[in-house]
């Protein structure tokens, strides 16, 4: 197995497998409990393990444990892992981090879903890139995209204003190769996550009246997934609680 050297492998493989398995078991129990408390069916909340900064070997372990979707936030790093794991069939790779237009062509080769579309310009670049990837025989599916919404007004964290969601969703619906699949957000560090997720849920309700297929609500991370599930999350993006502490704190 090809290993991405992050300089962070501190445990032997068997120990790492045991560690990931117990983290995953605990996390799935948390999600089940949160769904029970919210009166939701756990089958309606997908778990997206976020594997950024961790090696391809960890993804192979999670695959053996039954996981089939993985979140990555840096195109270069993700592409290296995709290339390192050719034998694992049926994986859906999710690009969850900020994306520059000049990386669109690369991401269109491997991404199943992009969670971080926050401008018409980026949408156009991804649309052209996905068509090009289809023409080159690199993919045969459209690209699911989520609109990233800003829950504060801090542009450095990405996301568009609530008021711009509808226009971007209409634009995506007119694209050739993109499917508007829902919304994504990252709550501000100092905000009350319940208030932030409630606002997001309201925006998602509005979006679905215009785009009924946009059912995905990507919200909730290691520290706030219970709150996100109460507010309708259909996809929790969980890094630390599965993988352990990242060597560098970065989003």
Which residues of the chain form contacts with ligand PLP (CB under 6 A)? 50, 52, 73, 96-97, 186, 221-223, 237-241, 251
Beta bridge partners of 160: 149
Is 159 within 8 Å of 149 (Cβ atoms)? yes
CB nearer to ligand PLP: give 27 or 177: 27
Q: Which residue is nearest to ligand PLP (CB)?
A: 239
Shortest distance, CB of residue 189 to ligand PLP, whole angstroms?
11
* Three-state DSSP class for residue 99: coil
98's tokens: 């900020």
CB nearer to ligand PLP: give 61 or 243: 243
CB nearer to ligand PLP: give 177 or 216: 216
Is 42 within 8 Å of 33 (Cβ atoms)? no
Shortest distance, CB of residue 49 to ligand PLP, whole angstroms?
9
Is 216 within 8 Å of 199 (Cβ atoms)? no
Question: In which residue are the tokens 């980026």 written?
Answer: 122
Shortest distance, CB of residue 241 to ligand PLP, whole angstroms?
6
CB nearer to ligand PLP: give 16 or 177: 16
78's tokens: 């993700």
Shortest distance, CB of residue 238 to ligand PLP, whole angstroms?
5
CB nearer to ligand PLP: give 56 or 184: 184
Shortest distance, CB of residue 134 to ligand PLP, whole angstroms?
26
CB nearer to ligand PLP: give 9 or 98: 98
Of 180, 182, 187, 181, give the one whose Cα is nearest residue 220: 187
Shortest distance, CB of residue 73 to ligand PLP, whole angstroms?
4
Is 158 within 8 Å of 146 (Cβ atoms)? no
Q: Exposure string (b/e) for 157-167, b if CB count within 10 Å is 16 or more?
A: bbbbebebbbe
Of 135, 114, 84, give the one whose Cα is nearest residue 182: 114
Measure CA 12 to chain center: 28
């Amino acid at each position: 197995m090809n290993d991405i050297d992050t300089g962070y492998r501190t445990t032997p493989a068997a120990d790492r497998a045991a560690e990931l398995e117990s983290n995953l078991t605990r996390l799935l129990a948390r999600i089940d409990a949160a769904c029970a408390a919210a009166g939701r069916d756990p089958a309606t909340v997908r778990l997206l393990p976020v594997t950024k900064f961790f090696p391809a070997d960890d993804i192979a372990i999670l695959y053996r444990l039954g996981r089939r979707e993985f979140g990555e936030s840096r195109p270069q790093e993700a592409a290296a892992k995709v290339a390192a794991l050719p034998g694992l069939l049926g994986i859906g790779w999710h690009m969850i981090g900020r994306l520059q237009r000049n990386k669109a062509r690369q991401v269109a080769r491997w991404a199943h879903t992009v969670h971080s579309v926050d401008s018409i310009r980026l949408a156009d670049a991804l649309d052209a890139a996905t068509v090009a990837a289809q023409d080159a025989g690199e993919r045969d599916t459209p690209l699911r995209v989520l609109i990233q919404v800003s829950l504060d007004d801090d542009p450095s964290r990405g996301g568009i204003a609530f008021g711009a969601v509808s226009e971007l969703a209409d634009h995506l619906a007119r694209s050739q190769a993109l499917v508007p699949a829902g919304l994504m957000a990252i709550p501000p560090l100092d905000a009350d996550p319940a208030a932030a997720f409630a606002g997001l849920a309201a925006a998602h309700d509005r979006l679905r009246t215009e785009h009924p297929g946009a059912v995905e609500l990507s919200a909730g991370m290691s520290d706030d997934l219970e709150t996100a599930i109460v507010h309708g999350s259909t996809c929790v993006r969980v890094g630390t609680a599965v993988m352990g502490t990242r060597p560098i704190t970065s989003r």
